[in-house]
Amino acid sequence: MLCMVVYQVPQALLVQLEVKQWMMQQLKMTDMQHRAPTVKQANANPFQLAQDGSWLTAASFLADMFDSQQHFPDANIIIGGRTIHLHKCVVARGCSAFAARWTSNWADSSSSTNSQDSAILDTACCDACGVQTSYDTARTFFRFLYTGEVHWPTEQPDEQPDMTTAMELLVLADLYQMPYLVCAAEQALKSSMTASQYCQVLLVADHHSAQQLRRYCLHVIASGYDMVSQHPSFQQLTDELLDEIEQTREALQQLDDQ
């Protein structure tokens, strides 16, 4: 009778054999690559800015795209006869009013992809308040959608805008449902108003749902009633606002009496 003996190779020896085979392959590859041409990155990274070596982030990329004809805009906003070049995907992402305005155009459009949608910003004014948005203020509005920051059209970056510019942005932001910009305009107006302008600003704040600014103006007018009521703009206030001013004066008087 024949008897077969099966010899089992120890696991440690198998590991050593595999390591040896791997090393032989690496040596062969090294020999093949000896004196071969090198392969290296010889081109500048397009996301690294050449000026200072910093990296181009998504935020800075979007900022560079704003109002640039070189970055394939697909929408033009015309205001005051001047054009702002925009990208629908950026503007619609940040402003639901423009998203709704353009949605039907995207669905129904059969035009070439190279064509641009031009629209006149005819709703950038408020006849009731007498505020007409300027080209510079419109740029501030749309630039915010690209940068997430309010860049006022002033000579110095940290300089506060004048009252007219802030009021224009307030009206535009309210018309296009941008509450963050409404608040930014409220803050700017609070810092730039004078005694002769409180009543005018109150009318605009009341008409455009700027509640923080509205409450502030009511308080200031009630506190300085004798002085503010002498200005011609005080006569333009509605009966409802005059009643609220009287109520605010009474409330302040009660606080003083306590």
* Of the candidate ranges 20-24, 62-66, 119-123, the one whose mean pLDDT is the lowest: 119-123
**Token output for 53:** 């070596």
Residue 126, classed as helix, strand or coil, is: strand
Burial of 65 (0-12, 13-18, 19+ CB in 10 A): middle
- Name the more confident of 108 and 97: 97
Q: Are 205 and 219 in contact (CB under 8 A)?
A: no
**Token output for 258:** 């306590």
Q: Kind of pairing, strands 75-79 and 117-120?
A: parallel
In what order do the strands lie in the sheet containing 75-79? 82-86, 75-79, 117-120
Plot region of 148 (φ>0 → left; ψ -120 to 50 → alpha; else → beta): left
Query: What is the pLDDT at residue 104?
Result: 67
**Token output for 199:** 């009543």
**Token output for 147:** 């940068």
CA–CA separation, 236 and 42 (whole Å): 70
Q: Are 217 and 198 in contact (CB under 8 A)?
A: yes
Task: Give the mean pLDDT of 15-43.
Answer: 74
Task: Give the mean pLDDT of 166-195.
Answer: 92
- Name the more confident of 31 and 244: 244
**Token output for 200:** 């005018």
CATH architecture classification, 193-258: Alpha Horseshoe (1.25)
Percent of the chain with pLDDT over 90: 44
Residue 189's pLDDT band (cuts 50, 70, 90): very high
Give phi and psi for 205, each to the nearest 5.
-65, -40
Token pair 């002085």 is found at: 227
Q: Is the pLDDT of residue 210 over 90?
A: yes
Q: Is the pLDDT of residue 100 over 80?
A: yes
Q: Is the pLDDT of residue 111 over 50?
A: no
**Token output for 193:** 């108003």
